[in-house]
Amino acid sequence: MIIDLKEKSGLGLEFDINKQELFFDQDLKSTLPAIRIIGQMREVLLEKDIKEPEELYYMYRDVHRFSDVSILEKHKLRYDVTVIKPVCLGKEFMKTAGHYHPGDFGELYEVVHGQCFCLLQRPNLEDHRIIEEVIFVEAVAGEKIVIPPGFGHILINPGPDYLVTSNWVSSSFSSRYELYKSAEGAAYFVVLPEGDSQVTPSLRISAEIIKNPIFREVANLRFVRPAKQITRFGLIKNSPVYNLISKNPKVLDFLNHPLDYEYGDVFVKASGN
Ligand SMILES: [Fe+2]
């Protein structure tokens, strides 16, 4: 079975579920994925002894059209594609390991296929076991998620389909995974409902959300949806973010100069309507 990613990503990409592999059209640089396996995730799981599945998600970094190489170098940008399985990790919904960025760098995600929860957390700068703000973003294919400066992030696949995301990010730093590992995960775990479950406001997916006891203080969750349009960043729902690099790369300047921009309107309250 094939997932055609062309419409939402704007690129000739297909994910073959049987082969667990992304296929690239001829105008694209074909890259091999970094594969996140269960053994690398053990510290951040709620249930640390689970053994399956072996492979959790696939990170295809620096995907691009051959014709865009010079413009990507000039603007210091990288485009990645991540494919996340629709399988639970014990009780937990499938998720990424989680990371912070150095300095104030943010990121721009796009949901290309499936449904996505993105859990953002902003730690106190003196004590990273105090989380001052937690944002729970619910998004579907075609929607964009702007990660503001200062927020660590994980992606969660609540299923039932594969979750495929793309992202634009500055090419001038490497992500930092240590704080998520030492805190044994994000501020909250999102698990299949059993006891006290709550329905997420807009996607209507039942989930139990458990506070990670390692943190000293954690802010309450704020449930949000991505704004449908953010003109200064060139973002419009269902309009692929890859195309920004050829149309108007200046709108991605916020990824390299994050503090020159405002982020107050990138999310709207999740209302369930
Ligand atoms: Fe990131």
Ordered by start, the domain boundaries in the chain are 2-269
**Mean pLDDT score across all residues of the chain:** 95
- Mean pLDDT over 99-105 rounds to 96
pLDDT of residue 201: 75
CB-CB neighbours of 210 under 10 Å? 15
**Residue from 78, 43, 30 nearest 179 by CA:** 43
pLDDT of residue 272: 60
Residues with CB under 5 A from ligand 1 (ion): 107
Q: How far apart are the CA of 173 and the centre of ligand 1, in A?
A: 10
pLDDT of residue 196: 59
Q: How far apart are the CA of 79 and the centre of ligand 1, in A?
A: 11
Write out pLDDT tens, residues 155-201: 999 989 999 999 999 999 999 999 999 999 999 999 988 765 677 77
pLDDT band at 147 (very low <50, low <70, confident <90, very high): very high
pLDDT band at 48 (very low <50, low <70, confident <90, very high): very high
One-letter amino acid at 68 equals D
Q: How far apart are the CA of 194 and the centre of ligand 1, in A?
A: 31
Q: How far apart are the CA of 153 and the centre of ligand 1, in A?
A: 7
Q: How far apart are the CA of 135 and the centre of ligand 1, in A?
A: 15
What counts of helices (H) and strands (E) characterise the chain? 5, 21
Q: How far apart are the CA of 143 and the centre of ligand 1, in A?
A: 17
Alpha helix positions (H), 19-58:
38-41
- Decide: pTM greater than 0.85: yes
What's the CA dihedral at 248, 249, 252, 258 to 10 degrees?
-120
Q: How far apart are the CA of 107 and the centre of ligand 1, in A?
A: 6
Q: Which two tokens stand for residue 100?
A: 């912070």
Beta bridge partners of 122: 133
Q: How far apart are the CA of 215 and the centre of ligand 1, in A?
A: 21
**Residue from 32, 12, 11, 15 nearest 164 by CA:** 15
pLDDT of residue 205: 81
CATH fold label, 2-269: Jelly Rolls (2.60.120)
What's the CA dihedral at 230, 80, 139, 260 to 10 degrees?
-30
By DSSP bridging, strand 206-211 and strand 188-191 are antiparallel
pLDDT of residue 197: 65
Q: Which two tokens stand for residue 113?
A: 């296929």
